[in-house]
Structure 1
């Protein structure tokens, strides 16, 4: 269950969330932002937050506990083809190219892991339904641990289309009742790069819908599903400084 708790600067309106406008940045920076948001919300000095972002340059993100990955990935990194980044969340490797990532950071998250996934993912289901695509949860068990590619299998935390194509892969990190959930929406993967990384072609088809249209629908769905006010506020200079200091440590 999600029951948003008030934060220190907004005790009178705990249903107000912050929306961070789109930030194109490196994977290292994106993961630092998500980790910083989790810490800030946990400490009660920052409101629940929704954001969307892209990875520039392309990157492979590893799950926090993912120890093994193909040796040739390091060669791709050394060639400058892509970056290799570790997420603060679990799961398997994701190729971030031609995708759009969402992140939700909230407080008051209690209950079982899949229950929380379903509560958070509801806005994704509603938003994509408005875009004409119906999504449902995957059904794979723990066998996903044996594959490197996150999008090769779909667990109960992932969303697939009516054709069985995995569209959204999500991962979580909980600190007490504070939650970071972020996930990749595979929109236009480059088949050549995908083949280089995973030695297979992507299972998802290309979607012609723009990032702007997706974000518009998902923001509206988030307001409805979470019953919140969503206030747009870019990262301030002092906040950027804190995030960049964390990266340099």
Structure 2
């Protein structure tokens, strides 16, 4: 348990939602943290499966025809990095939202703090994971899981394999109205066909499987157990109470998803909203 446990937190075991709504809910949670003094940790999944592009990622790196053919949604994150294919089954995602004044100002220190429950959760699942001990060079830059592996925020397993350890989780942060938002993708299983197929590239599937591992590969536990274990780790980390989204938050997120995260202008061209609207 951290010093953050002295504040008010809620744990959301969230239901599957589309990509635009998932991104909008993070910004809504930021407003709640500031205006209502309530911080959020949550575990969630994506329905339909979604490709989330990094903030500055070129839309030309996406195989739009493949995504449409396979029913894969596309949105754009506020965080940088490469695109991540969030499979409805194979991906487990989480979010941590807290006022910036309550967390380390140094980015790397904040990553270390916010990844504590992720590492604790993986350990409880039986996965020997840790921050990467060594850097690994980029294989395909547009893909988060095939970019260079950075010891600052990339989690690998088994950690004892050193340079041969494979990526199991990518994590990223951004700040919205004096609130720090960290979200991350954890591979429960591997879906290399879609992970490679969503990009405009001819990469072999082995390129992905040689670089990435999963909870199922490392520990063999059921997905439901993995989700619950991660939720428990987040809950214990900040002593959170079980919670739900309020109706007004869901309404605000639906509006923001429609105006921004689900809008073609944002997804393809990173067009900002009208002045004064976040």
TM-score range, shorter chain: 0.7 to 0.9
Name the residue aligned to 1:60. Answer: 51
The structure richer in helix per residue is 2
What is the CA-CA distance between 1:144 and the residue it aligns to?
5.0
1:186-231 CA distances to partner (integer Å, 9 max, x unpaired)?
A: 122323223423533233345142333223322333344x3x3221
Q: Alignment partner for residue 235 of structure 1, among 241, 245, 252?
A: 245
What is the CA-CA distance between 1:23 and the residue it aligns to?
1.6
CA distance in 2, matches of 1:211, 1:51: 16
Q: Alignment partner for residue 122 of structure 2, among 101, 124, 128?
A: 128
Q: Alignment partner for residue 39 of structure 1, among 13, 28, 31?
A: 31
Name the residue aligned to 1:246. Answer: 256
> Can you give the 5+ residue segments of structure 1 that lack an aligned partner in the other structure?
5-12
Name the residue aligned to 2:157. Answer: 161
2:12 counterpart of 1:20: yes
In angstroms, what is the RMSD of aligned CA positions? 2.5
* Superposition map of 1:1-249 within 5 A: 4=4, 14-41=6-33, 43-67=34-58, 69-71=60-62, 73-97=63-87, 98-107=90-99, 108-138=102-132, 139-140=134-135, 147-152=141-146, 153-155=148-150, 156-162=152-158, 163=161, 164-175=165-176, 177-198=178-199, 199-201=203-205, 202-203=208-209, 204-205=212-213, 207=216, 208-224=220-236, 226=237, 228-249=238-259
Q: TM-score, normalised by structure 1?
A: 0.84
Q: Could you say which structure has the greater relative contact order, defined with CA pairs below 8 angstroms and 6 or more residues apart? A: 2
SS of the counterpart of 2:16? strand
What is the CA-CA distance between 1:181 and the residue it aligns to?
0.4
1:11-47 CA distances to partner (integer Å, 9 max, x unpaired)?
A: xx94331111222011111111112112322x23141
SS of the counterpart of 2:190? coil
Q: Is the 8 A contact 2:25 2:253 kept in 1?
A: yes
What is the CA-CA distance between 1:146 and the residue it aligns to?
6.7
Judged with a 3 Å threshold, the aligned counterparts in structure 2 of structure 1 residues 93 and 211 are, in CA distance, closer, same or farther, namely same
> Can you give the 5+ residue segments of structure 2 that lack an aligned partner in the other structure?
260-278
SS of the counterpart of 1:66? coil
The structure richer in strand per residue is 1
Q: Give the number of equivalent residue pairs.
A: 235
Q: TM-score, normalised by structure 2?
A: 0.76
